[in-house]
Amino acid sequence: MSKDEAKSEKAKNPQDSTDGGVAEYLVAPKKKQKSYVIIAMAQNVSQDKRDAVARYIEGLGKGYVLVQPKTPDELARQISRQVHLMILDDTFAPRDRLLKLVKFMKEKKAADGLPVLFLTREPKEMTAAYRENLVAHQENDDYVDMKGQSPLDLVARIKQALEFRNRRRSRRFKIGMPVSFQVLGSEDWRKGTLVDISLHGAMLASKDSDIPFDLKSQVRLQIPVDDIFPPEEGEIFRLSCRVRRLSITGVSAGMSFEHVTERQLTLLTVFVTALAGAQSTGNDIDNSSVKSV
């Protein structure tokens, strides 16, 4: 077929041309998403520090976008973005309101995590308030005591926070709890031990050494909670997981939680917070340590 004949054929069948374009679009590489760095600073931060931080973020390249909200409402509207790091002055708004806003944003961004670097001039008071509101998220966050910090010192801390962005998204707590699990595709429920747990994942060890996990396999997890949650929540807490890393034997697996509903996240946050509190006092977790959910 000549070129002229091919053109004529396409003109007769425009749908073929359109379908080809759609197919090419679907298989083409996706455009890389931009990563946002959110900086919310109060007016008492000196201009030289503001300028130094802005220059550093803008110098990271086109993959990063700097956003500087002026009010808590503007800050809350950033929740839909792919936030790589939030730098948050704890005098940007009243501290209690600010921490509640951060907690809300973290819970809404559970799948992605939301690392926060707090700037404070009252580290003792700020960390105490943080422990009260955000203890379950603590491994993902850090703070800078602004007293005595030069612009270069501040930039260095922000650089460090960005470099460690891909660390584990939330702190894991040892638990050693017997659980049941089912690998998707199998009808059998197996016995295992939940070695540790966090808001984003867990380590599960199988009691059956001849049933190793496979990387990326999906798992249904059932955690007995009759002694932990109030009776109205039921006796079993169910979560869906995906295997992300394996032990050398394959009989224990690090898993991320998948398809977590808002209600599941609320219960999980209560559970992990109670576990954190119990470990800090050396007690077992029970109903008395679990807040009303």
* pLDDT tens digits along 76-129: 998 888 888 999 999 999 999 999 999 888 877 765 568 899 999 998 898 888
Residues in CB range of 195: below 8 A, 6 or more apart: 174, 175, 176, 202, 203, 204, 205, 252
- Strand pairing of 201-206 and 218-224? unpaired
Looking from the CA of 179 toward its CB, the CA atoms found within 13 Å total 25
Alpha carbons 258 and 33: distance in angstroms, whole number: 21
pTM above 0.75, yes or no: no
* pLDDT tens digits along 3-22: 555 445 544 444 444 444 43
**Which pLDDT score, from 0 to 100, does residue 292 have?**
43
Mean pLDDT of 210-231: 84
Mean pLDDT of 226-234: 83
**Which pLDDT score, from 0 to 100, does residue 290 have?**
45
Q: pLDDT > 90: what percent of the chain?
A: 34
Token pair 């030289």: residue: 48
Looking from the CA of 195 toward its CB, the CA atoms found within 13 Å total 12
Candidate from 10-24, 159-173, 210-224 with smallest mean pLDDT = 10-24
For the domain spanning 173-289, the CATH number is 2.40.10.220
The full set of domain ranges for the chain reads: 35-163, 173-289
* pLDDT tens digits along 180-210: 999 998 889 999 999 989 888 999 998 876 6
**Which pLDDT score, from 0 to 100, does residue 95 have?**
93
Average pLDDT, the chain: 80
Q: Does the pLDDT at position 278 exceed 80?
A: no
Looking from the CA of 121 toward its CB, the CA atoms found within 13 Å total 8
271 contacts 225 by C-beta, under 8 angstroms? yes
Mean pLDDT of 156-163: 86
Alpha carbons 90 and 123: distance in angstroms, whole number: 10
Q: Does the pLDDT at position 219 exceed 70?
A: yes
115 contacts 85 by C-beta, under 8 angstroms? yes
Mean pLDDT of 271-292: 60
Same fold, 35-163 and 173-289: no
Architecture of domain 35-163 in this structure: 3-Layer(aba) Sandwich (3.40)
**Which pLDDT score, from 0 to 100, does residue 209 have?**
67
Residue 189 has a CB neighbour count (10 Å cut-off) of 12
Distance between alpha carbon 256 and the CA centroid of its chain, in Å? 10
Decide: residue 54, CB within 10 A, 0-12 exposed, 13-18 middle, 19+ buried. Answer: middle
Backbone angles phi, psi at 27, to 5 degrees: -90, -10
Q: Does the pLDDT at position 273 exceed 70?
A: yes
240 contacts 221 by C-beta, under 8 angstroms? yes
* pLDDT tens digits along 12-59: 444 444 444 433 433 444 455 688 999 999 888 899 999 999 999 999
**Which pLDDT score, from 0 to 100, does residue 89 have?**
95
**Which pLDDT score, from 0 to 100, does residue 248 have?**
63
Residue length of the chain: 293
261 contacts 234 by C-beta, under 8 angstroms? no
Q: Which long-range contacts (CB under 8 A, 24 or more apart) does 187-190 make?
A: 189/222
Residues in CB range of 235: below 8 A, 6 or more apart: 224, 225, 226
Residue 255 has a CB neighbour count (10 Å cut-off) of 25
**Which pLDDT score, from 0 to 100, does residue 164 have?**
67
